[in-house]
Amino acid sequence: MAVVVDAFVGRCLNLLDQLVTDEVVMILGVKDELLRLQEKLDFIKDLLVDAERRRIQDKSVNRWLSKLRDVMYDADDIVDLCRIKGRELLQGQATQQISSSPSARRPPRRRFLFFSSCFKSLSAVPLRHEIGKEIQNINQRLEDISKDRIMFSLQHVDAPTVSSTQVNTRQTSPLPNSDLVGKEVKMAADRLVDSLVRSENENILVFAIVGLGGIGKTTLAQKIYNHKKVQANFHERLWVCVSQNYSQIELMKQMIRSAGGDHGHAQTKAELQPLLRNR
């Protein structure tokens, strides 16, 4: 749950970084509210590392995450609404400037466009108010969620940094453990495999199996990888383990070898990428 919420928060923060400096925010007049939203999300994001550690043992933390997830759905919607409505108002403003220009042709049409854009400006007033109130409401909900952290004793924890130059220290095998049994794991694997093989378009599908260590993520991935339907439907299957410390160069070499290729003396991304693409 915390991983999913963290992805929502991260996406919203990235959008806000771009939005708060955009002209669409200036015309909507909600920059201050969006900056407060950005500040609150930054504060909450640092709590999610601790929440992920404790959510299995403490069910109340899961409820806290569920509340935060619901707010993030609304925050995501309001950020998109700001972008859409702000652009519409900017386009209306541009139409007004063109239609009121002395050099514009066809006076009757120009006069109609001028009044039309005036109506747009008048209708923008309640729109700005409505969007501003909605952002304020989201900020208040986030404020309440931030206060709840005291009840759950959530602490700010810096997310672990990942080095892209160190060698992978943990490896997993694609071979399934024959001693492991469980109907739930088999059912989950069957459902995911059906989703993979039923796809009729060319889009790339990515399935993320998330959770704390030891709950069976690797087991589920092994069952999917070795499933008969996957073997029948996919010409190439590559198993690659990417831990917190890994080397991009070594990963690319491993993928080329797994696909039946030979990377030879290639040592850089520029040399390895064409080889991997060709395989």
Residue type, 167: V
pTM here is 0.46
What is the dihedral sign for C-alpha 245, 249, 252, 257? negative
223 C-beta neighbours (distance < 10 Å), count: 22
Burial (0-12, 13-18, 19+ Cβ within 10 Å), 219:
middle
For 188-202, write each residue's pLDDT tens digit.
888 888 888 876 666
Distance CA(245)–CA(218), nearest Å, equals 18
> Would you state the pLDDT for residue 157?
58
Q: Which residues contact 248 (CB under 8 A, 6 or more apart)?
A: 164, 269
Q: Name the pLDDT band for 137 (thresholds 50, 70, 90).
A: very high
Encoding tokens for residue 158?
Answer: 């810096």
Q: Is the pLDDT of residue 155 over 70?
A: no
Q: Looking up tokens 């997310």, which residue turns up? A: 159
Q: Is the pLDDT of residue 274 over 50?
A: yes
For 5-23, write each residue's pLDDT tens digit.
777 788 888 888 878 777 7
Distance CA(257)–CA(14), nearest Å, equals 36
Encoding tokens for residue 51?
Answer: 């929440």
Inter-residue contact 234 to 226 (CB < 8 Å): no
Segment 175-185 shows an average pLDDT of 64
For 222-236, write each residue's pLDDT tens digit.
888 999 999 998 888
Q: Is the pLDDT of residue 70 over 90?
A: no
Distance CA(250)–CA(167), nearest Å, equals 8
Q: Looking up tokens 């220290």, which residue turns up? A: 169
Distance CA(144)–CA(138), nearest Å, equals 10
Distance CA(12)–CA(42), nearest Å, equals 10
77 C-beta neighbours (distance < 10 Å), count: 12
> Would you state the pLDDT for residue 107?
45
175 versus 100: which is more confidently predicted? 175
Distance CA(151)–CA(144), nearest Å, equals 11
Please state the domain extents for the chain: 2-152, 183-246
For 254-264, write each residue's pLDDT tens digit.
999 989 999 99
Encoding tokens for residue 127?
Answer: 């729109």
Average pLDDT, the chain: 75
